[in-house]
Each structure stands twice: as structure tokens, then as C-alpha cells.
Chain A
Amino acid sequence: MQIKNGEAFDTSDIEVLSYPDFYGRVVELLAPETHHCLSYFAAPHAGSLRLYAFIAIDENAFIEALAADVATSDTLQAITAERPEMHVFERDIHEVFGIEFAGHPWLKPLRFPHNRLAGGSVYDYPFFNIESEEFHRVGVGPIHAGIIEPGHFRFICEGEKIHHLEIQLGWQHRGWENLMLSKKKMLQRAILAENIAGDTTVANATAFALAYEALAAADPNPTLTFERTLALEQERIAVHTGDLSAICTDIAYQLGNAVFGRLRTPMINFFQKWCGSRFAKSLIRPGYTNFHFTDALADDWQKTADAFEPHFREMADKMFDLPSVLSRIERTGVVSTETAVRIGLVGMAAKASGLARDVRATHPYLDYASLDLKPVVKNSGDVYARARVRYEEVLQSLANIRSLIAQKHEITETPKGDYLKLRPGKTVVSLVEGWRGVLCHVAQTSQEGQISTYKVVDPSVHNWMGLAMAVRGNGISDFPICNKSFDLSYCGHDL
């Protein structure tokens, strides 16, 4: 069944296939490069399990929705064997429900969730190993040297050269999806959504709000639509600028580190002026907002951006012209287009590897159709490309906000508080392009109109494998810049 981003439909309209038919359809659908899996999960259904897959058909701006009924005792043929991008989803279903996937290369634990059927603790992870006198292993984490979230990296190296990197996640698992079902107040759910990942507050809160409003058949409010679009672009500017600073840190380029770092400050402080939080927590709510984008804020933004842009350009021009910077970031951490397709990369990392995956352009929502956005695409797939995409996207986002403000209209007020009523028996797929890539929120309601399923796929779920591929053959001392160039989320993955 073909559905649209952000449009709720009757769950019963999804055709339920036999598993072999489901398998065949998914394998076939995922063949073209413009198709990729957004979400694939299992949900309890009538004492058994129902599988749901949602596959983006980018060239036609729709999503293919498929389902199949299976039993937990089943052994199913692994789709991963044909389409490697599915490996995380099958690992997830196996870990939580115990379903076996025959032909999956290795059904490793994904995030050690509290409700897993598979036993074992986070300390029992089955790492890949090569027994050899020539190789040694390097373990890093879960706690890292800097102030960042935890995860474990296990390298297999020959001297300085990385042959293999395995990334073990799950340390950050907070039981988010279960909390989303057990907390019944809309406000609690909105706050859960904005606390999925602190660097993606606006995008997650917006994906949630759009899903919630669609389930309640709320009429879109033009003011909220405008404000959310603007906030998403602002979040991108702030994080990309901070990431350019961090990339400079990891190549010991002190000037870039300091200048991009200080340029990020007015951008996150702008959110504090708008809503009281530098990370835009409290800004986005389903059906309303407490913080409209006033004319005074529009003036303030213009001034902030006018002061920011020349300094940002000057610093970036210097950085991308400096041989000592280029020699560290060019041809470092390469992911080829072919690999990107096979592993299902999305967002910024995909764009740096030649794939124009950006749902702002391919599955437009909010005001994106009117912005007519062309994704920034680079082909070299290296740290340089990922840094360069950020640079150009910051300029693009500045231009987007300028054009949004130019079309600004009168504020249309909304009622406040928890006034939306969810309709029973519906499903919605809500896609929002965060600065890192596509966020996919799938929500379903029960016959009583309660949220019965809420699944979140952070772009990091697809892209962690990209980092593992990027570092192969690189020196281990280049791992930090490779890692930073992806800047993936631990908590967004672990939930």
C-alpha cells in the first residue's frame, strides 16, 4: 500500500502478506538506489506478531507499507542476506521477540533493551575476532575520553592500520519506546520526544507533533508550520557549525575550533531568546506553541545572521584552503556510493557519498515544498565531503530562513494544551529530516484511541555501519575525525 509522509491511514488497510511474499516484496522494493528502508519492526498482534515495513520510494514521494503475520517460534529467511541495510532491523526483532532469521550473517544484540527476550548482559557481546599473531585489538569505551555519550568501539588493527571496527551500542538505553506507551499525557510524550537526543530536539519534537496531529486529524496551522520549518533550519545551522568546530579540534586546528565554536554560540542562544532553551526544548508541542516567532525575533534573527555569515564564510574559506587541514580530511574515512547504497546510509553522510537522500526534498512536509530545496551532494565520501556538506548546508539553511521570513504572515493562534483527540485504528509515518538525516516516527493507535505502537528510527541506526566501513584501511589515529565527521547519536540509537 502506498502512503504519504505524515498522512494517517487505517491500519487495517495495510495488506497482510505471508512471510515469503513479504520477503519477496521487500527484496524487490529495495533494489533501486532511490528506495530505502525507513522502519521495519514487529508489534504484538492477537497473541502473535505482526511485522511492519515502511520503504521510502524517493522518486515518487511515497512510502510503501507492508505487513506480515508471524509467530515468535518461526524461523524466517533473512532479508539481510539480500539487502544488508536490513541487518539492524532483523537484529532488533530477534533481540526483543526471539524470532530467528536464517541466513542473517550474525544476529548480534543491537541495544540490550530491558524487555529483551535474548538474555545476556551488555558485557557479553560477541565480538568478531581474528586469531592471528599479526593483529591486535583495541577496545575504546563505553566511556570515552571527551564529554560525550558512551559506546564501545573494538578495533582489529595491524600496526596502526584498522582492518575492522565493530561498534557495540546499547549503553544509553533508557526504555524510551515503552515510556512512550506508558505515559498517557500528551505533554509527557512531547517532553519524551524532545529528550530522545539533545542535538536533535526540534526534529524529534516536530516528527512527534506531526504524527500526533495526523492521528488526531488536526488541521495544519500555517503559523506552526512556518515556525517549525524555521526552527529545523536553525537547528541545522547550530549543530553543523558546532560540528565544524569539533572536526577542527580533532585535527588540532585551533583557530577553526575556536572560531566555529564561538560562532555556534549566537545560534544556540537564538533559541534561548525564542523559547528559553539553547536546545529549543519546550518550543514544539502538538497543536500549539507557547513561543511564537514574533516580529521582534525576526529582526533579532536577521541581525544575528548578518553578523554570523561573513565570519562563518571567512573561517570556512580559510579552513577549506589550508593544506594542513586538507591533507587530514581528504581521502580519509571514505564510504563509496556503492557501499552507501548497500548499507542504507541516509542524510548528511549519504549526501557526502553521492546519494541525494534528504526527505525535505524527496518527501516534503511543513513549508519545504515551497522552499524547493536541492540537496547538497558531494561524491568523494570522505571526511572532506562530510565537512563540506555541512558548510554548504549552513549557507543553504541561512538562505531558507531568510526566504521563510520574507513570506512571514500574521500569527494564527491555536487553542492551548491537550485538546487533540487521537482517532482509533490509525497508523502514521512521520518523516523529518534532522541535520543528521531522516528521523522516522511510526505511531499506531488502538481501537480505544490510545497509542499502541510508537517506533523511532534515528538516522544513526542506519549510519553507524557507515562509520565502521569508513575507517577500514585508515590509521587508527584518524578514527576521531572519521567519528566526528559522522557525529552519530548514541541515545537516539539506543532509545
Chain B
Amino acid sequence: MLDSLKILFHQGKQYIPDVTTTDVPGIFRGRPVISDAQVDETALVDLCPTGAISANPLSIDLGRCAFCAECMFACPQKISFTKDYHISANDRGALVVRAGDNRPIVVDPDKVRAEVKRLFGRSLKLREVSAGGDGSCEMELNATGNVNFDIGRFGISFVASPRHADGIVLTGPISENMADPFLDAYNAVPDPKILILAGTDAISGGIFDGSPALNRSVLDGLNVDLYVPGNPVHPLTFINGVLDMLQRKNR
């Protein structure tokens, strides 16, 4: 017993006191900034492995970006990535960053459904479904609940059954073989419910987009409440996106 207490004591404080403003270590790639420099835009479009870059004006769609960094190394005077991990949005179009933009990506409060804020503002239970996810987004979603990120402090947690959940978090490019199980889980969540697409694969298919083994049509007609880009999503991107969706002012 005493050894256990000693071990506990040796860990010190591990939690991040303010998950909305904390700095991330290293050279994390979050929101890109694209300058007005004149460059060969078609070369960048051609370079991008996932078709995330468009020309004229040069733009990066974070819903398609694999965060591979190659465009930044190819053309550092044009593209850089900041460590800003606040890159979730509820409008798919808001994930497109254009040349000259240097402003935060935000969750548009006018587009958040009134019942989402009213019902889930203080307690949100989520069911995660992986549909062809490679495990990395899944590990990062698990990490949101660990002692460092501790999403539980906001009354947000992942639960085992869709019947106990207020919404689904989907990861992966949506394999054909998981399309129906995903829909079953989604339909089992009582109304009103939310849907969060977590990770580039879930948002657009990512590098897997166009594979005949996927079935992304299951998303047709479903209301998406939040897009969380990343390859994989960073826990802080997810936590902040959800807090913003819930319009948690005091956090």
C-alpha cells in the first residue's frame, strides 16, 4: 500500500490545467497558413497525395489533408503549418484554408442546433464507431480520457452502448463491410443525436478515397455536427471542437 502511494506521488501532476490554451510539444502540424507568394501552384496540386490542395487561390482542405508536410517542405515560402490545434468546424467549408487567410477555424455558433447546446451542454455521452480506421484516431480518442487530457472533467465521456449515447463519433474511411454496422449503431442512438466525423479518413476517405472497398454513401442525408480533422486527430483538437460545439463558454 505504501509503495503504491509512493508510486502515485512520484508521478507528480500530469493533467493539463487548461486544455483550451495549452501549448503542444514539438513541431505539431495544426492549422496551415498560406502566403501570397507567387509560386508554381500546379506543382503543389500535383504533389499533394490526397488531393487536398487546389489552385487559384491556393488552398488546403483540412478535410482531405494527410498532414504529410510535403507541401511545406516543397514550398516553405508559400505554406507553413502552425501549432494551432483549434481546427474543428461544424461547416465543412470552414475546413478549407485559403492563401491570405490567417484567422482561427471556428465552430459557427449560428449553425449549432439549439437542442445540442440545451440537452448536451453539461453532459455528453458518445459512442465511437471505427469503420476502416487504422487505430490511430481510435487511440487518440482513448487518450482524450487519460490522466493528461481528462475530457471527463467536462462531463464528456465515451460509453459502450449506443443506447446510452447522445451521439456517434465515426473514424475511418467507412469500409463497405462496416457501413451497415455503423448505420445500426447510429440508428440505435435515441433522438436528438449528434454525429462527429473524426479524422481525415472519416471526413473525406483520405488516402483511401475512391477505393471500391468503401461505402461512403451511408453518410448521405445524415446531419454532421462536427468535423475534426487530423491524421490522426489530436486529442486537443477533439476536446476543443466538442467544447465549442457545446458552446461551453466557461469550458
Contact = CB atoms under 8 A, between A and B. Distances in A.
Give 10 closest A-B pairs by Cβ, nearest first. Answer: A198-B136, A175-B213, A273-B26, A145-B160, A114-B213, A175-B211, A198-B135, A198-B134, A272-B26, A147-B128
B213 A173 contact: yes
Interface in A460-495: 489-491, 494
Interface stretch (A27-35, A159-167, A258-266, A399-407): A258-266
A191 B66 contact: yes
Given A149-B130, A150-B129, A491-B133, 4 more contacts: A191-B68, A195-B208, A265-B146, A279-B139
Interface in B157-212: 158, 160-161, 172-173, 175-178, 180-181, 185, 201, 206-208, 211-212
Interface string A107-146: 0000011110000001100000000000000000011011
A281 B148 CA distance: 22
Output the residue of A112, A147, A183 with the most chain B CB within 10 A: A147
Contacts of A490: 135
Contacts of A255: 4, 7-8
A46 interface: no
Nearest to A187: B49
Nearest to A142: B181
B207 A195 contact: yes
Given A175-B211, A175-B214, A255-B8, A273 B137 contact: no
Given A149-B138, A191-B68, A262 B73 contact: no
A282 B27 CA distance: 12
Contacts of B26: 269, 272-274, 276
B135 A489 contact: yes
A230 B147 CA distance: 28
Contacts of B25: 269, 272-273
Interface string B208-231: 100111100000000000000001
B111 interface: no
Output the residue of B28, B128, B213 with the most chain A CB within 10 A: B213
Contact of B207 (A172, A191, A201): A191
A421 interface: no
B134 A195 contact: yes
B11 A290 contact: no
A71 interface: no
A148 B138 contact: yes
A408 B211 CA distance: 42
A491 B214 contact: no
A64 B131 CA distance: 37
Interface in A294-325: 311, 314-315, 318
Given A113-B213, A122-B177, A255-B4, A188 B29 contact: no
A179 B208 contact: yes
B136 A259 contact: no
A265 B232 contact: no
A48 interface: no
Contacts of B90: none
Interface string B98-124: 000000000000000000000000000
B141 interface: yes
A293 interface: no
A185 B49 contact: yes
Contacts of A242: 139
A494 B160 CA distance: 24
Contact of B212 (A123, A178, A272, A275): A178
A176 B134 CA distance: 11
Contacts of A197: 134-135
Contacts of A282: 67-70
Contact of B134 (A269, A314, A491): A491
A311 B10 contact: yes
Contacts of A328: none
30 contacts: A114-B212, A122-B177, A123-B180, A142-B181, A143-B129, A148-B130, A148-B135, A172-B133, A178-B213, A179-B208, A183-B207, A191-B49, A191-B66, A191-B207, A195-B201, A195-B207, A198-B139, A255-B4, A262-B11, A262-B147, A265-B148, A269-B25, A272-B28, A275-B27, A276-B26, A278-B232, A281-B66, A290-B73, A314-B7, A318-B7
A199 interface: yes
Interface of B: 3-4, 7-8, 10-11, 14, 24-29, 47, 49-50, 66-70, 73-74, 81, 128-143, 146-148, 158, 160-161, 172-173, 175-178, 180-181, 185, 201, 206-208, 211-214, 231-232, 234
A311 B135 contact: no
A146 B148 CA distance: 19
Contacts of B177: 112, 122, 170-173
A417 B212 CA distance: 29
Contacts of B74: 417
Given A272-B27, A315-B7, A318-B7, A142 B178 contact: yes
A277 B14 CA distance: 21
Interface in A389-448: 416-417
Contact of A259 (B11, B24, B29, B178): B11
Nearest to B128: A147
A142 B69 CA distance: 34
Interface string A177-202: 01100010101100110011111010
Contact of B213 (A147, A174, A196, A281): A174
Given A143-B185, A178-B212, A255-B8, A199 B136 contact: yes
A314 B178 contact: no
B76 to A, nearest CB: 11
Contact of B208 (A112, A175, A276): A175
B3 A318 contact: yes
A262 B175 contact: no
A314 B142 contact: no
B211 A178 contact: yes
Contacts of B10: 311, 314
Interface in A37-55: none
Contacts of B212: 114-115, 175, 178
A275 B67 CA distance: 11
Nearest to A195: B134
Contacts of B4: 255, 318
B69 A290 contact: yes
A108 B18 CA distance: 52
Nearest to A192: B207
Contacts of A170: 177
B14 to A, nearest CB: 5
